[in-house]
Amino acid sequence: MVYVTETDHYSYDFTQLGDTSYPLAELAELERDDLEIARVVRLDRGLPLVVSQTGTFRAEPSNTLVKQMKTDPFSRPAVGDWVALAHPEGHETAQFEAILPRKSTFTRKDPGEDTSVQVILANVDVVFVVTALGEEPINIARLERKLVLAHESGARPVIVLTKGDRSDDPEEEVAIVSAIAGDTPVIVTSAVTGEGTEQLRSLVPPQTTAAMIGSSGVGKSTLINSLLGVDLLATKAVRESDDKGRHTTVAREIVVVPEGGILIDTPGMRGVALWQADEGLALTYPEIVEATQRCKFANCTHDSEPQCGVKDALEDGTIDPERFERYTKLRQELDELDEKREEKRRAASESRPHGRGSQSHRIAKDKRNMRKYHKRKR
């Protein structure tokens, strides 16, 4: 691989950036022969870096898209996105005119906004939810929260426990995590001993897009470097006093694993507030959601109502009470978000369009795509 040292990225080979059949099909629907597909490979403070068959470009959104982006966060580019790229005559900069429909979308609530969404990753097949072993006991609530978002994205989650070398009893920690993971695989890695690297590699075969998410300092960039076999991405020691990372990675960026697929490195997440995650919640807490379906009343609060499926399951031990508490917190968070969004919708004028191009239309289309391209076994 040829590394370009004068820029902050290396040279991308378009043919390694994933299966192009689906974005090409989506582009064809636009019926414009002046556009080509390009993949968003890096998002930093500059214009999005995109790669197409004709080259690597910093590309700017078209005027129409800029307008749309102001009100519709889903129309803002995310790393992993496929876009429709134009090279307008007399224009120095390449332009993207549309974000092609996504087959998976990793979102969270925008930390800076009350009722808005932030798309963090697009078109990802596998999400590595990364947590470090060692110092402190694993924060299960935080892990479950990330698992909800990962499940909701439409990608396949895998839990990665890094820094296995620091743990006195990795087997015990794996057991604790496996108990809440359901069908999600749990793997232990160590950059010191090399443990787990090959297992991780096997999960990122050619044409697969995988991404790392997790708090700062858990070792996401280190892990990617170990798969690349070269220290391409910057890493930095955690603070000794509290094991906290220093937000070393500042861009979301695609790298290509030699003889493998694509890995996306992301900056450590500070907040993981939920955004519309009913499906993710059901996949993360299947036993609880199933039990609620046995409640007599549809609006059961699982408190004092008769014939409550949840209370029965808590009594016979099918539901772990601590897990139920964590679930309830997330359920409430989602309900509150729904309420706030409903209020905002009502406050906004009723003339807001609901047809093609509106945010709800967009979400529905992306969800349909997810199902079409990701026939997940459940």
Ligand X SMILES: Nc1nc2c(ncn2[C@@H]2O[C@H](COP(=O)(O)OP(=O)(O)OP(=O)(O)O)[C@@H](O)[C@H]2O)c(=O)[nH]1
Q: Which DSSP state fits 121? A: E
Judged by CB under 6 A, does residue 170 bind ligand X?
no
Judged by CB under 6 A, does residue 235 bind ligand X?
yes
Tell me which of Zn ion, Mg ion, ligand X, none is bound by residue 300, counting a contact when its beta carbon lies within the kind-specific cut-off of 5 to 8 angstroms: Zn ion
Residues 6+ apart with CB under 8 A from 268: 214, 215, 216, 217, 218, 220, 245, 247, 248, 249
Q: Of residues 58, 67, 239, 247, which one binds ligand X by CB under 6 A?
A: 247
Instruction: Considering the complex, state which of residue 209 and residue 248 has its C-beta at the smaller distance from Mg ion.
Output: 248
Q: Of residues 225, 249, 284, 292, which one binds Mg ion by CB under 5 A?
A: 249
Among 112-120, 159-167, 200-208, 360-368, the segment contacting ligand X (CB under 6 A):
159-167
Rounded distance between C-alpha atoms, residue 217 and residue 248, angstroms: 8
Rounded to a whole number of angstroms, the minimum distance from the CB of residue 189 to ligand X is: 6
Rounded distance between C-alpha atoms, residue 339 and residue 331, angstroms: 12
Tell me which of Mg ion, Zn ion, ligand X, none is bound by residue 16, counting a contact when its beta carbon lies within the kind-specific cut-off of 5 to 8 angstroms: none
Instruction: Considering the complex, state which of residue 219 and residue 261 has its C-beta at the smaller distance from ligand X.
Output: 219
Size of the site for ligand X (CB under 6 A): 25
- The answer to whether 23 touches 30, Cβ cutoff 8 Å, is no
Interface residues toward Zn ion, by CB under 5 A: 295, 300, 302, 308, 310
Judged by CB under 6 A, does residue 131 bind ligand X?
no
Q: How far is CA 97 from CA 2, 24, 62, 116, 345, in A?
A: 30, 15, 5, 23, 28
Q: Which helix (H) or strand (E) holds 99?
A: strand 94-99
Tell me which of ligand X, Zn ion, Mg ion, none is bound by residue 191, counting a contact when its beta carbon lies within the kind-specific cut-off of 5 to 8 angstroms: ligand X
Rounded distance between C-alpha atoms, residue 56 and residue 35, angstroms: 15
Relative to beta strand 156-162, strand 186-188 is: parallel
Quote the radius of gyration of the chain (alpha carbons, Å).
22
Instruction: Considering the complex, state which of residue 118 and residue 221 has its C-beta at the smaller distance from ligand X.
Output: 221
Rounded distance between C-alpha atoms, residue 325 and residue 311, angstroms: 13
Rounded to a whole number of angstroms, the minimum distance from the CB of residue 225 to ligand X is: 8
Rounded to a whole number of angstroms, the minimum distance from the CB of residue 79 to ligand X is: 15
Instruction: Considering the complex, state which of residue 103 and residue 220 has its C-beta at the smaller distance from Mg ion.
Output: 220
**Residue 298 neighbours by CB distance under 10 Å:** 7
- Contacts with Mg ion in 182-241 (CB under 5 A)? 220-221
Judged by CB under 6 A, does residue 248 bind ligand X?
yes
Rounded distance between C-alpha atoms, residue 100 and residue 32, angstroms: 13
Half-sphere exposure of 101 (CA within 13 A, CB side): 24
Q: Of residues 39, 42, 163, 323, which one binds ligand X by CB under 6 A?
A: 163
Q: By the criterion CB under 6 A, which residues form the site for ligand X?
A: 162-163, 165-166, 190-192, 216-222, 235-238, 245-249, 267-268
- Applying CB under 5 A, which residues contact Mg ion? 220-221, 248-249
